[in-house]
Structure 1
Amino acid sequence: MPKYHLLIDKYINSTISSEERKELEQWVLESDANRSFFKNRIKESSRRTSIDFDAELAYQRFSESLKLKKKVRKPLSTLLKYAALIAIVMSVGFLAKRQLLTNTLKTSIEVVENEEKTLIDNAIVIKLADGTTKVLNTESKEAVTDANGNVVANKGKNSLVFDSAKESVNKNPIYNEIFIPNGEIFKLQLSDGTLVWLNAGSKLRFPQNFDNACKKRIVYLEGEAFFDVAKNKEKPFIVNTQEVDVKVQGTQFNINSYENDDYIATTLVEGSVSVYETRTPENTMQLTPSFQANYDKFGNNFIKAKVDVDKYTGWMQNRLVIDNLKFPEILIRLERRYAVKFVNNSESLNDELYKGEFVDEDIASVLKTISMSTPFNYEINQNIITITE
């Protein structure tokens, strides 16, 4: 019997040879028990595969070929060619269907994953300390809860407030992370009362509560943010940007620290701050209002200058300030502000310097205005903008 198990499996998998098929046919014809066993094996095979394989039809085709042999004595070679053709057709159809279903399933998974990724990439997302991830609707007001259903923050329109009354006595703080996509600006109130405005394309890692046992209030920034720090002389507030730390007790300042930029700019509006290099804290600089510390990532040095702070904080009022920027730098800012992607095919523009200001204008108006000073063409296709000469 095990020998015929193997022959049946070969028949199902369309790997049976002509001689083996002839042997199997003879065995099936020997008794009703053999025919029943053969039929049941085909049914078992159909249950083991996820492909739509018609077991009854397979058996009928096999049995019909046997009936033809009884009724008509055709040359054996003709019958074998016919049987082989059926086997090949069934095999090709089976494999093609399996490949189609596999490709369809793979495509469906990729589409779903891409749609989910696109949704998250274009949304404000907060990841809580317990691993819970929430997509925040900028228009709605709702409570943000952790995995156990506990309310950790209350969301207003385009803002999120962490309750100061819920500060804990844990020895080590637990951190949340919030991600702001391109095209969005978001406001946070931390549990100590500090207000943070996050610009497009930014990420902030911050304690859910500033624990009483900790001597410092430390947050981690990638991107750009404006801080209005709640005063606490006993607990200095430190913003870490990987390469530069900003230490304050209570003040207002702006930090621009996008990963792809060549510099980190700290602009002081009110109070005083200490800005120092993370790796070498002795490389430090003190700022007073209206001064900016510009850290060169490649030169590892600070440049201090008095500036018009409105140019560096205007983004909170939807102002786009272009102050002696090269064309590629402008495109990067426009990508963040309007959530678009540029394809720049006009290299002759790269060394041009521009200066100007836009308030609440759409991307087409901005590009039209810039192109009036240095002519170029642009084509907007959804969120892809192609620049040509």
Structure 2
Amino acid sequence: MANWTNWSGSVRAEPAQLAQPKSLAELQDLVRGAGKVRVVGAGHSFTPLCETDGLLLNLSELEGELVVAPDRKTVTAPAGWSLKRLTRAMWDEGLSLPNQGDVNPQSLAGAIGTGTHGTGRDLGSLSTLVQGVRSVAADGSVVEASRAQNPDLFQGQRLSLGLFGVITAATIDVLPAYRLEERVEKKPLAWVYENFDDLAQRHRHAEFFVFPYADEAIVKTLHPIEAEDTPRGKPSNEEDIFRFCCDMTRAFPFLAGPIQRFMTGASGDVHKVGPAYRIFPSTRNVRFEEMEYELPREAGLPALKAAIAWIRKGRRPVAFPFEFRWAAGDDIWISPFNKGPGASISMHQYAKMPWREVFAAAEPIFRSHGGRPHWGKRHFLSRADVDALYPAVERFRAARRATDPGGKFLNPHLAELFS
């Protein structure tokens, strides 16, 4: 038995075998011979998607290379590559992803398979970029899927939670390489509430972070620009300061308000320009747990205001800020954005502090505003909840059964929702 834990340390597994195949033939043999199979990337999912007592695969060393289409509008990339590795390789080819989230260690397959997204009024999740996939099925065979070839498998694989086979390569939309200008500045929270719509329309990417006990927010915008790169500064000690403040909040919960107002006030403005692949990601070393809900766009700010009021009224010890952003709608079967343009609220808690109870108690606030959770972030949905929230879920389940009738790629968490 091997031991495995996710990034935050809250999900643990003892797989019978932990394998890192280097060739396609080796991967096929492993999958064909296993009773249960799950795949892990960076372990950045907070739900138990990767839990298994069977075979746990990591594809970061699997053979493969980046292939640029003749028209340069798509690339086919190894699905086990991290977004960091992928975007650097694409930059060397004069290409960029249309969008990214704010961390980049996740594997391409993991980001696609959970519906990971960045921010942008008119930009969808990474799942919406997918034009084709190559995967290893339960019997070890290699299967290609696109809108024209195996369309049900393709639709399932666009956001699959790893239930439709082991993706080895994905063909995704790309753009000519571009640079981004990043600006980060403090604003009164009331001003942000009033002006976020305008910010999101004027900038390709706009989001803000707000501690639940602070009256100012940290606003971040990114916008394509043709300009010289700003010099790369010395490593910041902000993460160390933030970790210290989280430890203080854990030790003295009643100080949460003053600590958060101090952290917001001490936050400095940022202005920098650089390659998109380098500007999108931020440093995230302080471990946390996360619950994220995607809501109808018009319900986003009311839900955030309600959640902050609930924390303040109950004087609940929450050490991390909320993150608020927009994303475009899509047509993917179990995507939380498939009802139209969305607002995304990420609620975090320091990993060393109790999180389960506060998340479970906060979830009804987001649900009451029409929210649906990000599949890789903490949620407490039942099968009946999934049925009620996702009208297309039976198509997803039927396609899963057709692809994997023996349930090789299920684990207990996923079987409860999708078997």
The structure whose Rg is larger is: 1
Alignment TM class, shorter chain as reference:
under 0.3
Higher relative contact order (CA 8 A, sep 6+): 2
Q: Give TM-score scaled by structure 2 length.
A: 0.21
